[in-house]
């Protein structure tokens, strides 16, 4: 049944980015877009508009992955290289609306209850909600999903501009702190920004390069699973975020903001192929690009799905060090972003052997 209260057209945001560095302006546009897992359409169209003049082929597969191919200039058969970054962000989905118009919800992906109280979310129709917390019979430190609700300003259930099944993403605007930048959904829109810029800067490559903007990573690497099966790459590299150990009393981790992109050695889901890890590190050293090695004890990326597709693919991951992952205010270093782009362009510019 149609819902005449719902507006299926997402309202335009303030597009004044003339004061920003072009790469920061792109990051603002991409991170502020709406796109929880399974609802990546808006992000996909933004990215398609950015890359359509740089790709030889663009298609969208049945699951919603955006796959852009840039043909190589080398002799055939050329190696097929797949770069993947996921378009989706974590979010919530409405499970119930009470008579006063307050909504209960379930998580989409890894939502931390501690980060929600007092924060805002945004629905596809532009409605803004505030996360509230039950107070009665709750301790001041108790923050669990079943004690939280979303307040959209409604006075009754009939007045609510949302309905059961509506998804929402976090809402915070982009902030330029100079050397550091902050936004919601850096995980993994910043990986999408890297792929867009690599596509623009990569003039000639001996390889056929597939730039894949995947869906539903936050709920099980689903887009990477299907797209890698279709592309059948000879080499696969995910571009995603990773945590840091450089904040007060942080868990020990040898990754810091500003020390360069992080080349993954291991995470909770995969061991990077040694040849891919070495290719990234040796290229960084040759090009004098700063880098770090990453060992992540929890979490994984699209690289895990690409590594295990078909009969197996040599896969690795280049990570952007990020503070406050899976919160509405994820922070990265601008130099790390630029150096990640430089490193991938350098890797793709030359032939390589995976010994």
Question: CB neighbours (10 Å) of residue 281?
Answer: 16
Confirm or reject CATH 3.40.630.10 for domain 22-89+174-348, answering yes or no: yes
Is 89 known to be catalytic? no
Q: What is the pLDDT of residue 143?
A: 83
Residue 144 tokens read as: 């669990």
% residues pLDDT > 90 (the chain): 88
CA distance 269 to 297: 9
CA distance 98 to 296: 41
Q: Strands (DSSP E) along 110-207, which ranges?
A: 120-123, 128-133, 148-151, 167-170, 175-176, 180-183
**pTM for the full model?**
0.92
DSSP 144: -
Higher pLDDT, 47 or 9: 47
Spell out the domain ranges in the chain.
22-89+174-348, 91-170
Quick: pLDDT tens for 127-164: 999 999 998 876 767 789 999 999 999 999 999 999 99
User: Is the four-CA dihedral 237, 241, 244, 250 of positive or negative sign?
Assistant: negative
Class of domain 91-170: mainly beta
% residues pLDDT > 70 (the chain): 94
- The catalytic position among 50, 217, 218, 330 is 217
Quick: pLDDT tens for 184-212: 999 999 999 999 999 999 999 999 999 99
């Amino acid at each position: 049944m149609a819902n005449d209260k719902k507006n299926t057209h997402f309202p335009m945001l303030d597009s004044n980015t003339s004061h920003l560095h072009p790469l920061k302006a792109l990051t603002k546009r991409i991170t502020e877009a709406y796109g929880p897992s399974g609802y990546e359409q808006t992000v996909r169209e933004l990215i398609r508009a950015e890359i359509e003049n740089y790709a030889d082929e663009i298609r969208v597969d049945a699951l919603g992955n955006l796959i852009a191919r840039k043909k190589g200039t080398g002799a055939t058969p050329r190696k097929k290289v797949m770069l993947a970054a996921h378009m989706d962000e974590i979010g919530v989905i409405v499970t119930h609306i009470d008579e006063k118009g307050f909504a209960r919800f379930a998580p989409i992906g890894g939502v931390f209850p501690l980060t929600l109280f007092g924060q805002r979310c945004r629905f596809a129709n532009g409605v803004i909600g505030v996360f509230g917390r039950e107070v009665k019979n709750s301790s001041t430190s108790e923050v669990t999903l079943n004690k939280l609700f979303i307040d959209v300003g409604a006075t009754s259930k009939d007045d609510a501009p949302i309905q059961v099944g509506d998804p929402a993403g976090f809402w915070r605007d982009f902030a330029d702190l100079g050397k550091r930048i902050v936004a919601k959904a850096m995980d993994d829109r910043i990986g999408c920004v890297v792929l867009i810029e690599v596509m623009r800067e990569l003039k000639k490559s001996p390889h056929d390069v597939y730039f894949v903007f995947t869906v539903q990573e936050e709920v099980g690497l689903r887009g990477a699973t299907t797209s890698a099966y279709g592309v059948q790459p000879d080499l696969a590299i995910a571009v995603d975020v990773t945590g840091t150990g450089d904040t007060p009393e942080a868990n020990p981790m040898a990754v810091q903001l500003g020390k360069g992109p992080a080349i993954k050695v291991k995470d909770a889901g995969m061991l990077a192929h040694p040849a891919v890890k070495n290719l990234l590190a040796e290229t960084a050293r040759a090009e004098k690009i700063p880098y770090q090695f990453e060992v992540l004890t929890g979490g994984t990326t699209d690289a895990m799905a690409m590594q295990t597709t078909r009969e197996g693919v040599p896969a690795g991951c280049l990570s952007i060090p990020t503070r406050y992952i899976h919160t509405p205010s994820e922070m990265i270093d601008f130099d790390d972003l630029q150096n990640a782009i430089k490193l991938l362009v350098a890797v793709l510019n030359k032939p390589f052997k995976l010994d």
